[in-house]
Structure 1
Amino acid sequence: MELDLRYRNGGNSDLLDLIDIRPGRALDCGCGAGDNARLLRARGWRVTGVTIDPSERAAAGVECEQVELADLNDGLSFAPDGSYQLVLLSHILEHLAEPAPLLAEARRVVDPAGRILVALPNVLHYRQRAQFLLGRFEYTETGLMDATHLRFYTVDSARRLLADNGLRLVAHATTGGLPWWRSREVLPRGLTRGADHRVLARWPNMFAWQALFLATPAPAPAAGVELGTPESAPVVVPAQSPGSSRPPAVIGRVGAEAGAGPRTPSRRP
């Protein structure tokens, strides 16, 4: 089987920037050719990849300690309970008809003090809204309307998906921004970044291309207590390294003091 180059990319570094624990063992579900595994390995993680594609298994083996050939719809039976400190689900759940079983498996195999990282595309991004308004619902080879997507999410519905499946949010982020097109190249960087951050914080379902979440297994609720994750959290805008061309990311840390103003934390190397 030939490697599908449509899904080769530089990895989802904005998602990995949410990690707030020391490196250990990571499970990259739907690892592709190992792009995220390469970034994780550079940060000190020992990565096991999972793919259904034998050609991807060979490519990912360059970056992963081991690669399991498995269908994510069938679970993670190869992994013992609590055996990973990090489980990565980067643009995976939208490809599953039923995401709940895989989320349950992620909770099972992650260490109780570990983290689960999830990235999902936002189908209500302004460009896709324009297509809908024009009466167009057309699948594409890649992107928001990828022909292999079986489920579609907004930023809000993605958050609810995780809360409804026993996950507690530790942090969340969005990436995207305004349609500057080529004017971004000539306008002051501070102006464009500041505007992007403001619209992402105010209207994430309009301007976010992807929603990013750092979560941990939620404790079992007491009798009569509804399981879920707080909807509101202060927005935190991360600093970007000089010369970075990456799209802006707006990050919120769940559980911070309500009403706290924006701050700029230091970035991990």
Structure 2
Amino acid sequence: MYGYIETNPKAAQVATEEGVNVICGDIEEPLLLFSIHEKFDVILLMDVVEHLTKPVNTLIQLKQRVNPGGKIITTDPNVAYWAIRKNLLFGQWNYADSGIMDKTHLHFYTASTWKALMEEAGYRVTSLKPVEGMVPFENFLFKSELLKESVGWLRHLAITAAPELFTIVYLLEAIPT
């Protein structure tokens, strides 16, 4: 069994018309989670947690929906990314329409605070790894025929050497404790 929870009625309708099992509602509404009786091997929270008003409460409630041996997988932005740090150094905290500084983000986390959030909610983090990153001047490097081939290697090297600085998004896996 699988399904989705979608807050946007139009998106939920489109998905339903495509044959997807969708519940239209707010995952933070306690009655919505109590109305779901199924348990799942995997619960995906892809770019969701930072938008929740009370993420710990929601994560605690979701534990009841995870099968024994199951897990939660999240993707999470990294506010410790180098470009955010650079902006802070110059006194800038500017919201954007998307990305790490998305206007709709209610919480901002680093790798260690993502892990602490999950542990506070009663999970053990089994994996926390970078899935998206970027090095300074990457767009400039891509424009150079000579250098564009090295961008992937530079990004990998940077993320390996200093994941806190060069990771934009983490993928986190956790199991209920």
TM-score normalised over the length of structure 1: 0.58
Secondary structure, counterpart of 2:13 in structure 1: helix
**In 1, Cα distance between equivalents of 2:78 and 2:28:** 22
Deviation at 1:170, TM superposition (A): 2.5
- Cα distance change, pair 114–90 in 1 and its aligned pair in 2 (3 A): same
Q: Distance in 1 between matches of 2:168 and 2:60?
A: 26
Distance apart, 1:125 and its partner CA: 1.2
Are 2:141 and 2:148, in contact at CA under 8 Å, matched by a contact in 1?
no
Partner of 2:175: 216
Alpha-carbon distance in 2 for matches of 1:64, 1:166: 34
1 or 2 for the larger relative contact order (CA 8 Å, sep ≥6)?
2
1:207 CA displacement: 0.7
Q: Is the 8 A contact 1:49 1:60 kept in 2?
A: no
Q: Does residue 59 of the first structure (1) align with residue 14 of the second (2)?
A: yes
What one-letter code is carried by the residue in structure 2 that aligns with 1:87? I
Q: Give the secondary structure class of the aligned counterpart of 1:171.
A: strand
What percent identity do the matched residue pairs reach?
26
**One-letter code aligned to 2:20:** E
Tell me which amino acid in the other structure corresponds to 1:178. V
Matches within 5 A, 1:20-35: 25=1
Question: What SS class does the counterpart of residue 73 from structure 1 fall into?
Answer: coil
Could you tell me whether the CA contact under 8 Å between 2:123 and 2:174 is conserved in 1? yes
Partners of 1:133 and 1:205 in 2: CA distance = 16
Query: Is 1:107 equivalent to 2:63 in the alignment?
Result: yes
Matched, 1:129 2:82: no
Measure, in 2, the Cα distance between the counterparts of 1:148 and 1:188: 33
Name the amino acid aligned to 1:200: I
Q: Which residue of 1 aligns with 2:96?
A: 140
Whole-angstrom CA distance in 1 between matches of 2:148 and 2:6:
43
RMSD of aligned Cα (Å):
1.9
Higher helix share: 2
Report how many residues are paired: 171
The answer to which of 170-179 and 147-156 deviates more is 170-179
**Contact 1:158/1:211 (8 A) holds in 2:** no
1:183 lines up with 2:138 in the alignment: no
Q: Distance in 1 between matches of 2:126 and 2:52?
A: 24
**Which sections of structure 2, spanning at least 5 residues, go unmatched?**
none
Residue 89 of structure 1: how far off its partner (Å): 0.6
Out of 150, 158, 169, the residue aligned to residue 199 of structure 1 is 158
TM-score (ref. length: structure 2): 0.86
Distance 1:194 1:157 in 2: 28
Alignment partner of 2:28 out of 64, 69, 73? 73
Q: Determine the C-alpha separation between the residues in 2 that align with 1:188 and 1:150.
A: 36
Q: 5+ residue gaps in structure 1?
A: 1-24, 26-46, 219-269
**Are residues 68 and 77 of structure 1, via their aligned partners in 2, closer, same or farther at CA, if it must alter by over 3 Å?**
same
From 37, 40, 44, give the equivalent of 1:88.
44
